[in-house]
Structure 1
């Protein structure tokens, strides 16, 4: 009995350790995606190793049925449970799935979220204060809670069922699209109310207002100013403050929105995942790097923070210095010199001299003369320190590879090809498109 009890305790402890080392992934579609992306290494078993999840920074599971990066996925995702335990997750791309709910309350490190074209009814982003970009268009949203998202710059929530929206805590919000909702009031702060950004779009029936200035009366009761506008419009009479800054949806507004849409399409064409990956593959093969190495170097040194949707300026890249090969050669040479110096230290050589002297009963001074006269010069102490260490040359090599990657992505031929595609598609002149790109694009080409 005692032996059985001990065995039982050991089994419980083992199961507990295993449970701590894995994260439950209940949705088969999500796990298929993680396996196809090379993230989940322990197979299709409803879980992922914590050690695997720790390395995930950017996750792209967009439209998995047609996504060429996910050839073995046969189910759209319905549930993202498990991602909240990915500690370093920065970006989530999951549009074009069947997701009905999403809990990001523990995913406090994310900066980019694209969950458009799903069936999400409620989205609470109060805890995600690092967010810069959110796209949740084409869902079933009746509630979108933002809180004090002071880093949020872009919010796209069109084609939902929202009846109100509070953005007063989003003090950096530059781009906003709330069109095709049931919104009556968009709550803003005083600074926003006095200067509505040009890239904010809403329906004509919606109005910008401050929280304190919004009042609502019904035949049943009078809600407090903080109450959400009711959806039962037949029995609700709303009083909104008169303002001079309401943006009307004129032809000019829609034309500018069209321009922005065209340029956004151009940006995406320039920086397609396939194009980025092809350039990564070229550099990996050229310098015999593994994917994790190159990704790490790009994240550390590249000025093209594409994965976080930051502004991308190819003028920051400049012409490639093409120092990668030279720096790698210097790194190898410097590493060998460092190795030699570590081996041929004066103390080590002296110990060997003393061994031979003792063995043959030699005079120390005389033996030193023999060594200087007849010894291999390569075995003399390596006392000269290279001007730069192997570590510094390796870092220069990393930086140079990252710069070479940037230039490969934003080469003039590729950019011109994408411009030509957009011009032809929308029947634009070169001057027109150049003007729009200069005004709206995140990519400023050479």
Structure 2
């Protein structure tokens, strides 16, 4: 008995099913619900669920988060193109902006900041930190500073001698006896500098 031949057909590589699925967008964790609610309000997110699409925030240059009762700014590190950040009137104790290397303007007045990290961006021009709880601050590498407000903190030593373009400074309300300046600054103290009467400007503070 002769059995009929069985023809087995296989699929060519061209006929194989091609997947149209794409990997999910990376997410940035936003643990502070008030921070994320602000991002929803600004249109960078759609719901408060603990994270935001990284691609939605990566190219944001200007971010205003004033008066939102934010306590934790974790997630700000993924705002890679951020130039201008305002977080005035929140409840921040730590402010870590070391990953935001495009920043030029930082406005963080009236928080409870005791720890500050800005990182290595030497182009920063304006920093507002009045009304916090800083005991010390080191800004010597930011030589392009034009504005620095530190009023009403707990700073006991301040050296602004490395900032030739510093036109505006507020240092009153700190336990300062001496503010170190350069010889050029001492000869012509800018009119927009302010300090307590008990503090003096000097080239050589003890």
TM-score by length of 2: 0.83
Equivalent pair of 1:126/1:148 in contact (CA under 8 Å): no
Q: CA offsets per residue over residues 144-192 of structure 1, 9 Å max, x none?
A: 2212212211111111111111212222100101011111221222322
Task: Provide closer, same or farther for how the CA distance between residues 126 and 24 of structure 1 changes in structure 2, counting only shifts above 3 A.
Answer: closer
Q: How many Å apart are 1:195 and its aligned residue?
A: 2.1
The structure with the larger Rg is 1
Q: How many Å apart are 1:126 and its aligned residue?
A: 5.3
1:120 equivalenced with 2:113 (yes/no):
yes
2:191 to 179, 183, 198: 198
Residue 39 of structure 1 corresponds to: 44
Q: Partners in 2 of 1:59 and 1:188 — Cα distance?
A: 33
In the TM superposition, 1:337-416 aligns within 5 A as none
Q: CA offsets per residue over residues 77-118 of structure 1, 9 Å max, x none?
A: 001111122111111111111111100111121111111110
Q: Partners in 1 of 2:123 and 2:151 — Cα distance?
A: 22
2:62 to 51, 58, 80: 58
2:122 to 113, 119, 129: 129
Q: Partners in 1 of 2:201 and 2:167 — Cα distance?
A: 15
Q: CA offsets per residue over residues 349-371 of structure 1, 9 Å max, x none?
A: xxxxxxxxxxxxxxxxxxxxxxx
Q: CA offsets per residue over residues 397-421 of structure 1, 9 Å max, x none?
A: xxxxxxxxxxxxxxxxxxxxxxxxx
Residue 151 of structure 2 corresponds to: 158
Equivalent pair of 2:169/2:192 in contact (CA under 8 Å): yes
Q: Partners in 2 of 1:94 and 1:130 — Cα distance?
A: 20
In the TM superposition, 1:410-429 aligns within 5 A as none
Q: Partners in 1 of 2:33 and 2:161 — Cα distance?
A: 39
Equivalent pair of 2:109/2:128 in contact (CA under 8 Å): yes
Corresponding residue pairs, total: 185
Q: Partners in 1 of 2:108 and 2:194 — Cα distance?
A: 20
RMSD, matched Cα: 1.9
1:138 to 131, 137, 148: 131
Task: Provide closer, same or farther for how the CA distance between residues 205 and 128 of structure 1 changes in structure 2, counting only shifts above 3 A.
Answer: farther
Equivalent pair of 1:108/1:130 in contact (CA under 8 Å): no
Residue ranges of structure 2 left out of the alignment (5+ in a row): 1-22
1:168 equivalenced with 2:165 (yes/no):
no
Structure with more helix by fraction: 1
Equivalent pair of 2:80/2:99 in contact (CA under 8 Å): no
Runs of 4+ in 1 over 6 A off after TM superposition: none
Task: Provide closer, same or farther for how the CA distance between residues 126 and 198 of structure 1 changes in structure 2, counting only shifts above 3 A.
Answer: farther
Q: CA offsets per residue over residues 331-359 of structure 1, 9 Å max, x none?
A: xxxxxxxxxxxxxxxxxxxxxxxxxxxxx
Which has the bigger relative contact order, CA under 8 A and spacing at least 6? 2
Q: Partners in 1 of 2:171 and 2:117 — Cα distance?
A: 17
Residue ranges of structure 1 left out of the alignment (5+ in a row): 1-16, 65-75, 216-446
TM-score by length of 1: 0.40
Q: Partners in 1 of 2:119 and 2:36 — Cα distance?
A: 27
The SS at the match of 1:155 is strand
